[in-house]
A and B are shown apart, each in its own frame.
Chain A
Amino acid sequence: MKEIVKITIGLTLTCLIAAGIMGGVFIITAKAKKHNEYLNFKENMLALLGYNQTNPAPDSLQLCTVYRYLIYQGDKTSLGYMLPVKSKDAKDIRYQFIRVDLQGQFVDKFDLEIETAQTTDLKDREKALAAVLPKDVNQMIFADRFIVASNKDKRLAYLLPGKSPGFKTNINFMLALNSKYSIVGLQILEHQEDPGLGDEIEREYFKNQFTGKDSERVKTLKVIKEPLPDEQLKYLEKSKWAKDAYSEKDIKALQKKYQDKDICAITGATISSVAVVNGVKNVVTKFVYRVKILENIISKQKITVAF
């Protein structure tokens, strides 16, 4: 009996010491880790917009995030959007929360007391929302978010993060749509697929197949189990183009030729390819449906959004 007590005490003590050390390091590093994650995310966003080290983003580039919530009030369900709006002195950005019912009709809007830096934290957002929403709201669930990139009052692109269950675990990706809702680019953020097989979803010849497809085509997009024709393969691998390989006319012609083609799967990684295509389909169809309603409401209610 004594042995067991000694053992348990010894084990608990060791666990506590280890927990203490880990807790200490965690507290010190948590903020820095979050900051790094944010920087990484931003880098991916800029890459999607076409900016990198040789082509830096202009200072006037603005990235505004819109958060979508599901609000349950009694037996009524509504969607809520947390929008950044331009305030009267046009210097800083304030936030408003508008509610839209399931049929797409405007319900009400509230001004939020929240700073831009705080909006990335889930808890801070919920606090600000709870302060303004009516008391009989049972639940507010964060659904998803999208980012609008604009430069000097002109909308460049909509960036949509999304995820899809792949062969191993979830594949996190980010899509860029232009103002007419055609796909401008696809970036794979995180995945744990097999190297050499599912890993190839990060390669240009897969990702660039999505570029140029409009939202109607994406709704019926499929995966076909055919190899890429050589001409298309060369065209897709943009980074490997020789200096004057294609003229403007050539690029336009090739783009038109392959614009409506289905996505060719990666050899030996059908499941990963299908996962990405389904994820993209889901995200695009739902977003396009919702953003049209949102734009309608924004213009009708004359909300001065910051983008």
Chain B
Amino acid sequence: MTKSTLIRWFICFCILLGCTACKTEHRFVKRTEFKKTNIIVLCFAGPVDESWANSAAFRINEKQDPDILLKVDRVELSKDRRTLTIFMKDPLNTSNPHQMVLPDIMSEGKSQGTAVVSVKKLYWGNLISILIGAMFIYNYVFVKYLGLCVYLGVTQKKSTAIGMGFTFTIVIIFSTSISWFLYQYILKPYQIEFLQIIVFIGLVSLTVQAVDTILRKVNPILFKEFGVYLVLIISSCLILAVPLIMAAQNYDFFESLMLSTGAGLGFFIALFLMACVRERIDLSPIPESYRGMPIAFIVSGLFALSFMGFSGMSIY
């Protein structure tokens, strides 16, 4: 695909994501968000009456527990009266979506109706956290130890590493997307989830064959460079692990897309880093018994140790 078509797709994708984030549930409430652990912030389309803000009986509850109302400590209205900050008595469980009922919003003497809005973490934030998670925090090579065979075999030179990383990312994005459709619309409704392994493997092989054939016809030069790696991909554990994780966590389409992109990019980073180091190591004096595999392992161990520094990080 040429660069311009790629850029066009990317822009469409961003617009689509943006649209899903901009829609609000009530025309007067523009934005709702969590701040810190016990604060909810509401932004209105126009100024609200101070009397309403101080006396209104807000009803806030977690969406899954509509019978348990959470206690409000105090409220603060901003100077322009468009932003309302609500302080809660107990810390909120921000990973669950919450629901708020704002009864009879009074703005400049006129009632704007009762609003039932939901407060939850930004969808974009969730997507980005999955992406970064798959790339660094749960890097598939250094933290989850998958795909090590391919990783050790291909990282002798930088060029092979780049080629493998690139091919792998493309294959994994395609196969995970198609696996998602099959999983959601065929495997789950008919309750045959135990067949997921077979289905995913079949899909991966078909994807590889398809990419193989397409590449051969469309761009033989590219095929000569990357074609060799396609066969290696099937024998790697990693290509199966990503759809399995997507199925286990029950992600929706965009989340699984982020997961596969993150996994592919993380793998690419791991390969590239290792290849750089290995090229240098080959030229240095290493004791004979350590040459080849052993030193590669020890270097990987050091990488894994450093990637452990990412563990437990959470963005959003």
Cα distance A22–B64 in the bound complex, in angstroms: 37
Contact residue among B67, B198, B312 (Cβ-Cβ distance under 8 Å from A290): B67
Closest Cβ–Cβ distance, residue B178 to chain A (whole Å) = 15
| A11 B206 Cβ-Cβ under 8 A | yes
How far is the CB of B194 from the nearest CB of chain A, in Å?
6
Establish whether residues A143 and B198, one from each chain, have CB atoms under 8 Å apart when the complex forms.
no
**Number of B residues contacting the other chain (C-beta, 8 Å)?**
21
Say whether A11 contacts B205, CB under 8 Å: yes
Q: Find residues 1-32 in chain A having any chain B CB closer than 8 Å to their own CB.
A: 4, 7-8, 11-12, 15, 18-19, 22-23, 26
List residues of chain A with CB within 8 A of the CB of B192: 23
Name the CB-closest residue of B to A4.
B213
Pick the residue among B65, B194, B198, B209 that contacts A15 (CB under 8 A). B198
When chains A and B are docked, how far (Å) is the Cα of A165 from the Cα of B67?
A: 23
- CB neighbours (8 Å) of B311 from chain A are 167
Distance to closest chain A CB from B1 (angstroms)? 23
CB closest residue in chain B, given A26: B194
How far, in angstroms, from A165 to B206 measured CA to CA in the complex? 35
Chain A nearest CB, measured from B198 CB (Å)? 5
Q: Is B5 an interface residue (CB 8 A)?
A: no
**Is residue A70 contacting chain B, with contact meaning CB distance below 8 A?**
yes
* Interface pair B66/A77, CB less than 8 Å apart: yes
Nearest opposing residue in chain A for B311, CB measure? A167
Contact A18 B312 (CB under 8 A): no
Is the beta-carbon distance between A19 and B198 smaller than 8 angstroms? yes
Interface check B195, CB cutoff 8 A = yes
In contact, A22 and B206 (Cβ under 8 angstroms): no
Interface residues of B in 202-216 (CB under 8 A from A): 202, 205-206, 209, 213
- Rounded to whole angstroms, the CA-CA distance of A12 and B199 in the bound complex is 10
Nearest neighbor of B312 in chain A, beta-carbon distance? A271
Which residues of the partner chain A approach B312 to less than 8 Å between Cβ atoms? Answer: 167, 271
The answer to whether B66 touches A289 (Cβ under 8 A) is no
A22, A79, A282: the one contacting B195 at CB < 8 Å is: A22
B68: chain A residues at CB < 8 Å are 286, 289-290
Q: Mark A142-182, 1 if CB is under 8 A from B, else 0.
A: 01000000000000000000000101010000000000000
B93 an interface residue at 8 Å Cβ cutoff? yes
A15 and B202 in contact, given A26-B194, A282-B93 (Cβ under 8 angstroms): yes
Q: Is B95 an interface residue (CB 8 A)?
A: yes
Q: In the complex, what's the smallest C-beta–C-beta distance from A134 to chain B, in angstroms?
A: 19
Map CB proximity to B onto A71-86 as digits: 1 under 8 Å, 0 otherwise. 0000001010000000
Q: Contact mask B242-253 → A, CB, 8 Å, 1/0?
A: 000000100000
B194/A70 in contact, CB under 8 A: no
B195 touches A19 (CB 8 A): yes
Which of chain B's residues have a CB closer than 8 A to the CB of A102?
A: 66-67
Chain B residues near A290 (CB, 8 Å)? 67-68
Would A104 and B198 count as touching, CB distance under 8 A?
no
Note all chain B residues with C-beta closer than 8 A to A19: 195, 198
A143 CB contact (under 8 Å) in B64, B195, B213, B248: B64
Say how far B65's CB is from chain A's closest CB, in angstroms. 6
Q: Complex Cα distance A102/B69, Å?
A: 9
Closest B residue to A168 using CB positions? B138
Set of chain B residues within 8 Å of A286, measured between Cβ atoms: 65, 68
Is A104 a contact of B205 with CB atoms below 8 Å? no
Cα(A282)–Cα(B311), bound, Å: 25
Interface residues in A75-113 (C-beta closer than 8 Å to B)? 77, 79, 100, 102, 104
A104 and B67: CB pair below 8 A? yes
Query: A303–B90 Cα gap in the complex (Å)?
Result: 35
Shortest CB distance B31–A (Å):
25
Give the residues in chain B near A11, CB-CB below 8 Å: 202, 205-206
Interface residue from B198, B199, B209 paired with A4 (Cβ < 8 Å): B209
Residues of A within 8 A of B66 (CB): 70, 77, 102
Asked if A79 contacts B198 (CB within 8 A), the reply is no
B206 and A23 within 8 A (CB): no
What separation, in Å, do the CA atoms of A79 and B67 have in the docked complex?
A: 8
- For B95, the chain A residues whose CB sits under 8 A away are 165
Interface residues of B in 137-193 (CB under 8 A from A): 192
User: Are A8 and B67 neighbours in the complex by a CB distance under 8 Å?
Assistant: no
**Nearest Cβ on chain B to A187's Cβ, whole angstroms:** 23
Please give the distance in Å from A100's CB to the nearest CB on chain B.
Answer: 8
B295 to chain A, nearest CB (A): 27
User: How far apart are the CA atoms of A8 and B312 in the complex, in Å?
Assistant: 44
Q: How far is the CA of A102 from the CA of B99 in the complex (A)?
A: 14
How many whole Å from A277's CB to the nearest CB in chain B? Answer: 13
Determine the chain A residues whose CB is within 8 A of the CB of B248 once the complex forms: 169
- Residue contacts A-B, CB under 8 angstroms, 27 given: A4-B209, A4-B213, A7-B209, A11-B202, A11-B206, A18-B198, A19-B195, A22-B194, A22-B195, A22-B198, A23-B192, A23-B195, A26-B194, A70-B64, A70-B66, A79-B67, A100-B67, A104-B67, A165-B95, A167-B311, A167-B312, A169-B248, A278-B93, A282-B93, A289-B68, A290-B67, A290-B68
Known: A19-B198, A167-B311. 4 other contacts (CB 8 A): A11-B206, A271-B312, A278-B93, A290-B68
Q: What residues of chain A have their CB less than 8 Å away from a CB belonging to chain B?
A: 4, 7-8, 11-12, 15, 18-19, 22-23, 26, 70, 77, 79, 100, 102, 104, 143, 165, 167, 169, 219, 271, 278, 282, 286, 289-290
* Ranked 8 nearest A-B pairs via Cβ: A102-B67, A15-B202, A77-B66, A18-B198, A271-B312, A19-B195, A26-B194, A15-B198
